[in-house]
Amino acid sequence: MKFTLHQTDTSTAARAGTLTTDHGEIPTPIFMPVGTIGTVKGVHQSELKEQVKAKIILGNTYHLYLRPGMETMEAAGGLHQFMNWSGPILTDSGGYQVFSLAHRRKIKEEGVTFASHIDGSKHLFSPESSLGIQRSIGADIVMAFDECPPYPSERKYAENSMHLTHRWLERCVAFMKESQPKYGHSQALFPIVQGSSYDDLRRQSCEFIASQDQPGNAIGGLSVGEPIEDMYRIAALCCEVLPKDKPRYLMGVGTPANILECISRGVDMFDCVLPSRNARHGVIYTRQGIINIKNARWRNDFSAIDDSATAAPTSQAHTKAYLHHLFRVNELLGPQIATLHNLAFYLALVTEARERILDGSFSSWKEGAMAGLERKL
């Protein structure tokens, strides 16, 4: 995997680059739609490519490990084949879902034991088993197995947890060295910075993570309930310490406004369930503001959902009144159109951010865009 940095903004820390994987190039900054269990909910793969213009998508190791399971995954030839997605894929380590979804989890030096949220069956995720699963899934980018401490965390807990994540990272790096990809394309490991909301721990974690010299680096443990100022401050701090010549991935962030703020602090990659989950509840992002399409005010609004040239074709083709109707009568097509809309909106936003970084207008463009992104219509 190769990362080329084309431009760093003069008045912010925003960067424009290109990440090259065996499944294609990823322009950065980039937003990665979440394809939890081998599908971005409600979106056909052809739509992801042609309407959303996704350049890379996520898969969740925890979910894919439980269903369809690695026997089927390997028989299929990996996730690209299984779901028929030819672009790049990133998988998380499974750790986050173990902490948020699974039952009876127990953290040990070896790894984490847990009971499946589906059938209660018992499992162990360790640095080695998580990466073994990610080898079976065949993602282009695989994430280190870490502990993501809750917010708030006591300093002592955060510090111990960070050191555990670091020790696990060394085992991850060793496992990647000793094992081989299964499907002929290469897989790059991204370590994850932790340290909760403590600046000195975050700095220490960034330095340790950087010392491992992997192809990219991630910032974890944010967007877990901390004040927004903490998130922005820590994202900025991490980007200052992490190497400039490698992509920086801020995990699980966020709203369109969050994304522009973090791009300006030096983040290159984002993922979040927000645009797709909110879409299923009728929340639609536009440059003019956030629409709750279930609101009666849209009932007879026959303007396009979004008539901007970068909007999803279905958002240009259908009216707000029609989308309001679909949600009102609880029809599948409502979430389908809304999800396409929000994901295409996110991709168009990071695409324009990149263009603005490249032509030097990022800072003023961002200032102008923020009000619309945060307004409720």
Do the annotations mark residue 289 as ligand-binding? no
Using CB under 8 A as the binding rule, the residues of this chain from 143 to 202 that contact its own copies are none
Is residue 327 close enough to count as binding its own copies by CB under 8 A? no
Is residue 332 close enough to count as binding its own copies by CB under 8 A? yes
- Catalytically annotated residue among 9, 140, 268, 271: 271
Do the annotations mark residue 132 as ligand-binding? no
Is residue 299 close enough to count as binding its own copies by CB under 8 A? yes
Do the annotations mark residue 306 as ligand-binding? no
Nearer to its own copies, 257 or 326 (CB): 326
Q: Give me the 24-63 binding string for its own copies, x by CB under 8 A, dash otherwise.
A: -------------xxx-xxxxxx----------------x
Do the annotations mark residue 138 as ligand-binding? no
Is residue 294 close enough to count as binding its own copies by CB under 8 A? no
Nearer to its own copies, 5 or 333 (CB): 333
Is residue 320 close enough to count as binding its own copies by CB under 8 A? no
Nearer to its own copies, 75 or 228 (CB): 75
Is residue 349 close enough to count as binding its own copies by CB under 8 A? no
**271 annotated active-site:** yes
The C-alpha angle 75, 77, 82, rounded to 5 degrees, equals: 90
Residue located via tokens 């645009």:
275
Is residue 86 close enough to count as binding its own copies by CB under 8 A? no
Nearer to its own copies, 63 or 287 (CB): 63
8 Å CB contact between 339 and 368: no
**230 annotated active-site:** no
- Catalytically annotated residue among 92, 140, 268, 306: 92
Residue located via tokens 């960067």:
15
Among 199, 200, 307, 331, binds its own copies (CB under 8 A): 331
Do the annotations mark residue 95 as ligand-binding? yes
Task: Kindly report the three-state secondary structure assignment for every residue of the chain.
Answer: CEEEEEEECCCCCCEEEEEEECCEEEEECEEECECCCCCCCCCCHHHHHHHHCCCCEEECHHHHHHCCCHHHHHHHCCHHHHHCCCCCEEECCCHHHHHHCCEEEEECCCCEEEECCCCCCEEEECHHHHHHHHHHHCCCEEECCCCCCCCCCCHHHHHHHHHHHHHHHHHHHHHHHHCCCCCCCCCEEECEECCCCCHHHHHHHHHHHHHCCCCCEEECCCCCCCCHHHHHHHHHHHHHHCCCCCCEEECCCCCHHHHHHHHCCCCCEEECCHHHHHHHCCEEECCCCEEECCCHHHCCCCCECCCCCCCCHHHHHCEHHHHHHHHHCCCCHHHHHHHHHHHHHHHHHHHHHHHHHHHCCHHHHHHHHHHHHHCEC
Is residue 309 close enough to count as binding its own copies by CB under 8 A? no
Among 162, 279, 326, 344, binds its own copies (CB under 8 A): 326
Closest distance between its own copies and the C-beta of residue 142, in Å?
A: 21
Do the annotations mark residue 93 as ligand-binding? yes
Do the annotations mark residue 17 as ligand-binding? no
Rounded distance between C-alpha atoms, residue 193 and residue 221, angstroms: 8
Is residue 83 close enough to count as binding its own copies by CB under 8 A? yes
Task: List, as residue ranges, the binding site.
Answer: 92-96, 146, 194, 221
Q: Which residues are catalytic?
A: 92, 271
Residues binding its own copies (CB under 8 A): 37-39, 41-46, 63, 67-68, 71-72, 75-76, 82-84, 299-300, 302, 313-314, 317-319, 321-322, 325-326, 328-329, 331-333, 335-337
